[in-house]
Amino acid sequence: MISKKIPKMIYGGDYNPEQYDRETMLEDMRMFKKANIDFVRVNIFAWATSQKDEVTYDFTWLDEVIDTLHQHDIKVGIGTGTAAHPAWMAKKYPDILRTEFDGKRRKFGGRHNSCPNSPNYRKYASLFVERLVDRYQNHPSVLLWNISNEWGGACYCDNCEKEFRVWLKEKYETLDKLNKAWNTSFWGHTFYDWDEIVVPNLLSEHFGERQTMFQGISLDYARFNSDSMLECHKIEYDMIKSAMPDSIVTTNIMGAYKPLDYQKWAKYMDVIAWDNYPGIDTPVSFTAMSHDLMRGLKDGEPFMLMEQTPSQQNWQAYNALKRPGVMRLWSYQAVAHGSDTVLFFQMRRSRGACEKFHGAVIEHVGHENTRVFREVAELGEELVDLSDTLLDSRVKSRVAIVFDWDNWWATEFSSGPSASLKYVDEVHKYYQAFFNHNIQVDMISVDTDLSQYDLVVAPVLYMVKQGYADKIENYVSNGGTFLTTFFSGIVDEHDLVTLGGYPGELRHVLGIWSEEIDALSPEHKNKIVIDKQLGNLKGEYSCNLLFDLIHSEGAEVLATYGEDFYKGMPVLTRNTFGKGQAWYVASSADDEFLQDLVSHLAEEKGFQAEFTAPAGVEITKRYKDGKCFLFVLNHTKEAVLVNIQNVKGINLLTKEQVQETVEIPAHGVAIIEQK
């Protein structure tokens, strides 16, 4: 369990009482109790409130807040406040300020405005956290510690340039090794002194955020940037854990957020906590994938839904309200995928600045007679009724999709073959195919043990790190099924092409080699012509974006291209390797093809979907102590009758007995404890 201090699903969210007076805070306490709020995060951006100059610390306001919350039986997550340094600090120590990608140094403003490699930032952040820990480490209301907030951004200042050189020395040891890894003989870039290396940005190697002339240095800087912020996080993490070894320490992260390699960060988060902000048009499957990606960071342990809006966001182009029932539906979707909390940003709307129109539990009107508050209170009652029933239950999957931040960075730094190739989009296409069949998926890293899965899918595995090809070969030879796609096996971890023909180190297990890669604008399509029927996989489909011109080296050709000069060349292959199979999809296939391919693979491996649900209905399961909890989520605007064959039990939300079928209202949810 995340914490035994709250014997139910934790409910609440971000609270910023420093923006209001005491009378308002006391009114908040009344409304929190009315909504069954039992946890709030405080001090997230309040560094300046507690430290007005270099030597003066005043936490009396925070004492009052935490003591008041304690008096009302509300647990607290203390933010370390270091996501935004005070103005006096920027004035006195300008090295704290970030330098942007274009080389311009920022002035004070915004948030995440600190250089992660500034000695002064690290010094004063540490001093502030030290005082917080000393003051509140034994407070009975404190449930967890939240470091900073949504770490992000990048800096290209002199501090970062110097530390980048140090980082490179530790990684490569010698300039000879670095020059080889970066292929610096190209364009006369050979380095003879570490101080000759400069940060890669618009002043040096880049001509756009994704466009770089030297992928090696840009890829390493992406790693360095993530590591730099992680180092700041670790400093705070170690301070808190040293004083309180049993404390829960985390930070709130942001799903598929490109700048930070969360698979490395997860080691320094006691529980994964993430902020979920889909738009009104975000595919439901993408939100599900994001939950599963976060759950996968700690090998399936329950995570925290740390933030979501109860109504609307403020930072999208069009900030639609969540329609009635959708907040509840999306909250339970998070639970269905492994969350043990339902939390919001924010508890009360700000009066000013950029988040005054961001949704909140308590609206500007200031009372409980609002649609949003009623929905929040109703969900709060349900979570009380659920008690600890679902806590620490787990999701079980027989399918895994590989997701790797290094691969993401490298794929999109690549100069060619296509500006339209987006790593996350291609991963999501495969995830969505399983999602539409209600087949649960784990999102895994390249370090995850593959033997627990019947099927492993690695879309666009452009980068194959040292030893990973052997890992895949062992998995397949022992009976596993592996599927990868076009633009895979191209480079090693340094972004150097693996010579000898694509797909490089994967060539042996896949039984193919790729001679050329055609890249056309997305509107240009080719055909996938199935040579022989495989379950639902038959006839013709379309594909676009990239087209590998491959030759079989023992793999069975299952489909060929239908057009262009490579008409008749393989586009879908299957290679028997030991006791298992390795599949290759040589182009970006349409959704219909992927649906039918997934259906065939599921049937072949014996894990086809248990339930055939109407379009827009999501079904998933969590397990605990030998019990199975079936979640049925209706993402449509109409009531639906769902056939749940061979299932009987009790709907935990309505207390009604369910057998064979269940009716779900528009945007409704059923959680069935199976008997």
Helix (H) or strand (E) holding 657: strand 657-664
251: nearest Cα among 229, 284, 274: 274
Using CA atoms, how far apart are residues 433 and 415, in angstroms rounded to an integer?
A: 29
Helix (H) or strand (E) holding 408: helix 405-413
Whether the CB-CB separation of 163 and 117 falls below 8 Å is answered with: yes
Q: Bridge partners of 633?
A: 618, 669
How many CA atoms are closer than 13 Å to the CA of 406, on its beta-carbon side? 21
Query: What DSSP line would sit under 444-503, residue for residue?
Result: E-TTS-STT-SEEEETT--B--TTHHHHHHHHHHTT-EEEEESS-S-B-TTS-B-SSSBT
- DSSP single-letter state for residue 410: H
Task: Report the alpha-carbon distance of residue 69 to residue 75 in Å, rounded.
Answer: 7
Give yes or no for a contact between 484 and 510, defined as CB atoms under 8 angstroms apart: yes
Q: How far apart are CA 540 and CA 524, in angstroms?
A: 16
- Per the DSSP assignment, residues forming a β-bridge with 345 are none
Instruction: Check 163, 205, 236, 307 and give the catalytic one.
Output: 307
| Residues 423 and 411 sit within 8 Å (Cβ to Cβ) | yes
Sheet containing 617-624: which strands, arranged edge to edge?
617-624, 627-634, 669-674, 640-651, 657-664
State whether residue 422 is helix, strand or coil: coil
Amino acid, single-letter form, for residue 653? L
Alpha-carbon dihedral angle through residues 57, 58, 64, 70, given to the nearest 10 degrees? 10
Residue type, 198: V
Q: Which residue has the tokens 């995830």?
A: 431
User: Is 307 assigned a catalytic role?
Assistant: yes
H/E run at residue 652: none
**What's the token pair of residue 7?**
């014997």
CA distances to 242, 355, 440, 556 from 529, rounded to whole Å, are 61, 52, 29, 14
Report the 10 Å Cβ neighbour count for 48: 15
Closest CA to 2 of 443, 448, 388: 388
Backbone angles phi, psi at 305, to 5 degrees: -75, 95
Residue type for 557, please? V
Marked catalytic residue, from 150, 236, 368, 493: 150
Give the list of residues 6+ apart from residue 358 with CB closer than 8 angstroms, or none: 309, 312, 313, 314, 315, 345, 346, 349, 350
Instruction: Give the C-alpha distances (Å, rounded to integers) separating 613 from 143, 457, 661.
Output: 40, 24, 11
- Annotated catalytic, 150? yes
Write the burial class of residue 523 (CB in 10 Å: 0-12 exposed, 13-18 middle, 19+ buried). exposed
Would you name the residues annotated as active-site residues?
150, 307
